[in-house]
Amino acid sequence: MQKKVFQLLVDNTSGVLSRISGLFSRRGYNIESITAGTTSNPKYTRITIVATGDEAILEQIEKQVGKLIDVRQIWELKPDSSVFRELILIKIKVKDDQRQAIVSVSDIFRAKIIDVDIDSMIIELTGNQSKIDAFLDLLGGYEILEIARTGIAGLRRGTGELVTID
């Protein structure tokens, strides 16, 4: 099993997301995460999909998704030439004597405390997946109540291979 990050530029038609996710479910492809948002041109949506599978499956994903009428282009975001970010919100249970320690760990990771309650707090962290995983490891000793992750967004570095929007 390999993991690949695909990025798509798609026409912002109604139902475009269901067309793409439907293709994954009916052909039995695995999605690890999917994020979508409009681009500088409201006619287009940029979608980032993290998919897993063997090489043949990943090649089929690229071809079958690329074939959808609404998909302008699909390309792989290769780790060495791309940047990835994910945002995570973590709600943990805290006693009074734990609060300061958590704030210190959060500072090291440049995470933000965005809500504090009597017995819990919510931390926001942005980063690539390994940073987020490392942070979660460090919080292993505390009781995590809820987690919300956005899935990854990414862009290719530089201006070499821009997919232009007309």
Residues that bind other proteins in the complex, under the rule CB under 8 A: 10-11, 14-15, 18-19, 22, 26, 56, 59-60, 63-64, 66-67, 69-72, 166
Q: Where are the beta strands (DSSP E) in 77-135?
A: 82-93, 112-116, 120-127
Angle (CA) 16 18 23, round 5°: 100
Least separation in angstroms between CB 55 and other proteins: 10
Measuring CA to CA, which residue among 106, 94, 114 is closest to residue 136? Answer: 106
Least separation in angstroms between CB 42 and other proteins: 14
| Angle in degrees, 0-180, between the axes of helices 55-67 and 16-26, rounded to the nearest 10 | 150
* Nearest residue (CB) to other proteins, 14 versus 104: 14
* Nearest residue (CB) to other proteins, 69 versus 118: 69
* Nearest residue (CB) to other proteins, 69 versus 108: 69
| Residues whose CB falls within 8 Å of the CB of residue 147, separated by 6 or more in sequence, listed in order | 88, 89, 90, 91
Residue 166 · residue 126 · CB < 8 Å:
no
User: Helices (DSSP H) in 1-159: which residue ranges?
Assistant: 16-26, 55-67, 99-108, 129-138
Least separation in angstroms between CB 78 and other proteins: 20
Least separation in angstroms between CB 11 and other proteins: 5
Least separation in angstroms between CB 128 and other proteins: 30
* Nearest residue (CB) to other proteins, 19 versus 91: 19
Torsion on CA atoms 62, 65, 66, 68, rounded to nearest 10: 170
* Nearest residue (CB) to other proteins, 137 versus 166: 166
